[in-house]
Amino acid sequence: MPTHTPKNIRPFHTVLVANRGEIALRVLRTVRRLGYGTVAVYSEADRDSPHVQAADRAVCIGPAAPAQSYLNIEAILQAAQLAGADAVHPGYGFLSENDAFADAVDTAGLVFIGPSGDSIRAMGNKAGAKRLMQGWGMPCIPGYEGQDQSDEAFVLEAARIGFPIMCKAAAGGGGRGMRRVDTPDALPAALASARSEARTAFGSDELILESALIDPRHVEIQLLADSHGHVVHLGERDCSVQRRHQKLIEEAPSPAVNAELRARMGQVAVDSARAMGYVGAGTMEFLLDAEGQFYFMEMNTRLQVEHAVTEAITGLDLVEWQLRVASGQALPWQQADIQLKGHAIEVRLTAEDVPAGFLPQTGPVLRWRPPTPQSTGHDVRIDSALREGGQVSPHYDSMVAKIVAHGSDREEARRKLLLAVRQCVLLGLPSNQGFLADCLADAVFVQGARVHTGFVAERMGLPPAAPVPSAHTVALAAMAAQVHNLPTTADGHVHAGALGQGQAQGLLQWGEQRWRYRIHTQGMGWQVQCTALGAASSAQADTGTTSLTHVQWQDAARTELALACQGLREQICSARTENGVQIFHAGRAWTFDCPVAHGQAEASAGSGAVLAPLTARVLQVMVSPGQPVQTGERLLVLEAMKMEHTLTAPITGVVRELRVQSGGQALKGTLLLQIEAEAA
């Protein structure tokens, strides 16, 4: 263990938050509540972001790319000097677990609201952290943490450990640089992929190997430690519902942890934190097997994304206690004073295309209507920096909001959260909102005891299947598309007579499915007939007629449309786009294209066009013009939102056109390369 360097622990008056988005807003909220001055930093892409408006002062620290702004230590320190800040809170992500940043803040004479650089260094490398923890008696997963990083060494060590194994980046976290390997022949490709992603995300391609536990739970212990040697834990969180080794749903306490196990896990976590002289908030992460044995994975030396569920069941504000500890205050409680009340569950709302394999998405935020206390009660919390009319950028993480619910027990918390998620409107780009609702309603999740890290693959499929819009949803989409530009009365009513000749028709397309719709006026109402075409003819939304009355826009901007469907009053949120219409109905968002009947050709089966599935940087090009390729062969690697995405050949043939090169940018939907099919 390195010798601790001096850490500035003293009172301060103004806090700079070295982060962006929802976490910057969340930290600023508590900083302001405690009476401190506030400073925000922002990239050029975030100039109009909510966290900039929320602070007393704000300083631009560089271009959109994180390396030139939010990861630029010198620029952040200069911003603190310019704005008169004498303390820095790193939030989570970016520089929050960067030991050089913590050291630089201390050296500049500022207070770093987090642990010392030495503690971050000790826990920042998984290999070194495991060696330290084993020395302190912490149970660890068998594996390899050696300095020999050659493929030959990993092959030998993997054979010793036994398959399946986990290949992990030694630096960083968040599921990046992590691959499960089930067979020896898959190891070389996994090593190459993990190294590349780790190098991009963390600046280090060092890897470790661990035995892959079968269907474990991911359970973590929240710690608080002051500068007087006192450490307590605040119970555990269960983070087992994950995709791509990244957390989606977190809850506290864990359904799999009883009081005796909580005490054992908490004690080893506290003892280890005390052994390293830890100061601040931190989290010990464990895997828990079916027999109740727990194994150390890593320590996060920062505030966690999921800290809100711990706050809900303890009544404590963790950011407040980060600030108090950083100023030199002692924790006022003994372990027995920490009481857990009720249950809390959190979901991470992310901008991603779930059926496409959780592919991160960027684009405009056309509608953002989170649930309100009036609709869900006061036990639901939403942390977000989204704003209607803004953008989700390709430069930053895909998480756009957190929704947290607290109840007297797990089932009450689950019901409240499910209601809130089903009321959360995000239009403009794909999100996982509907998928989260499906997870919360799943019978295994409801029961709780059998949830493990393979829950998504086991219950939802990989990738999860896309839901099919009902005939009713299609009819409402057709109505929204047609009435958007029709004249209304002063109170927003759209009368059937406004349709002119009394009828309208068009096409709607959702994925590969199409419907022809016809709208007829009938007295004071409307008849919407939808007929499925082609592939949709056998789908759930086949053919039907929907009767509508009392169609009324609820706002001048024409975003909320109320109507009565065969006597049942309901309301949809809608947004017109250049090529179609988006609506929020039946608890989820639906995106429909409105193709011109004869002006939009059907996509030909077996097309060799490879399009960009998201806006991203081209990390690697593996083919050249004239090169033969086989179906499934790797063509390109894209990087966006801190993740790598490999594109493969859709057909066997020859690369005839290549429009991108390594280091370039690719806009979503643009042609990257064209493969010409082999002649029959």
The average pLDDT across 429-442 equals 97
The highest-confidence range among 158-167, 541-550, 659-668, by mean pLDDT, is 158-167
Confidence of residue 94 (pLDDT cuts 50, 70, 90): very high
Give the pLDDT confidence score for residue 641 in this predicted structure. 65
What pLDDT was estimated at residue 598? 38
Q: Using an 8 Å Cβ cutoff, are 507 and 465 in contact?
A: no
Burial of 148: CB neighbours in 10 Å, binned 0-12, 13-18, 19+:
exposed
Transcribe 607-635 into DSSP letters: --EEE-SSSEEEEEE---TT-EE-TT-EE
Residue 154 has pLDDT above 60, yes or no: yes
Mean pLDDT value across residues 63-73? 95
Which of 3.40.50.20, 3.90.180.10, 3.20.20.10, 3.30.1490.20 is the CATH number of 142-211?
3.30.1490.20
Give the model's pLDDT for residue 505: 87
The yes-or-no verdict on residue 301 having pLDDT over 80 is yes
Is pLDDT larger for residue 252 or for residue 466? 252
Mean pLDDT of 491-496: 86
Using an 8 Å Cβ cutoff, are 530 and 541 in contact? yes
Instruction: Tell me what pLDDT residue 71 has.
Output: 96
Dist. CA 449–CA 254, nearest whole Å: 9
> Is the distance from CB of 369 to CB of 386 less than 8 angstroms?
no
pLDDT greater than 80 at residue 534: no
Q: How far is CA 660 from CA 397, 654, 670, in A?
A: 24, 16, 10
Catalytically active residues, by annotation: 302
What's CA 42's distance to the chain center, in Å?
A: 21
Query: DSSP class of residue 460?
Result: I
Q: Report how far residue 45's alpha carbon sits from residue 514's, in angstroms, rounded to the nearest whole number.
A: 37
- Considering only CA atoms, which of 210, 280, 214, 285 is closest in space to residue 247? 285
Angle (CA) 500-506-508 rounded to 5° is: 140
Q: Say yes or no to pLDDT of 536 above 50.
A: no
Residues 593/650, Cβ–Cβ less than 8 Å: no
Mean per-residue pLDDT, 328-355: 97
**260 exposure class (CB count in 10 Å sphere: 0-12, 13-18, 19+):** exposed
CATH of 609-677, one of 1.25.10.10, 3.40.1380.10, 1.10.3430.10, 2.40.50.100: 2.40.50.100
Spell out the residues 6+ positions from residue 518 whose beta carbon is closer than 8 angstroms to its own.
503, 504, 505, 528, 529
Write the single-letter amino acid at 243.
R
pLDDT at 198: 86
pLDDT tens sequence across 72-87: 999 999 999 999 999 9
191-248 pLDDT, tens digit each:
999 998 888 777 889 999 999 898 999 999 999 999 999 999 999 999 999 998 899 9
pLDDT at 234: 98
Residue 200: per-residue pLDDT:
78
Displacement of CA 548 from its chain's centroid (Å): 38
Lowest mean pLDDT among 19-23, 74-78, 139-143, 306-310: 139-143
Query: Is it the case that residue 172 has pLDDT exceeding 80?
Result: no
| Res 644 pLDDT > 50 | yes
Q: Report, as an integer, the average pLDDT of 79-104.
A: 96
> What per-residue confidence (pLDDT) applies to 5?
60
Q: Which residue has the tokens 């007393």?
A: 56
| Interval 567-593: pLDDT, tens | 899 999 999 988 899 999 999 999 999
Topology, domain 14-122? Rossmann fold (3.40.50)
Task: Cis check for the bond before 253: say yes or no (omega within 30 of 0).
Answer: yes
Q: Are strands 57-62 and 37-43 parallel, antiparallel or unpaired?
A: parallel
Residue percentage of the chain with pLDDT more than 70: 95
Contact 401, 386 (CB under 8 A): yes
Q: For the chain, which residues make up each domain, given as ranges? A: 14-122, 142-211, 218-236+258-460, 471-593, 609-677
Mean pLDDT of the chain: 91
Domain 218-236+258-460: which CATH number of 3.40.50.150, 3.20.190.10, 3.40.50.10190, 3.30.470.20: 3.30.470.20
What is the average pLDDT across 119-137?
A: 90
pLDDT at 601: 37
Q: In sequence order, what are the beta bridge partners of 119? A: none
DSSP 8-class letter at 490: T
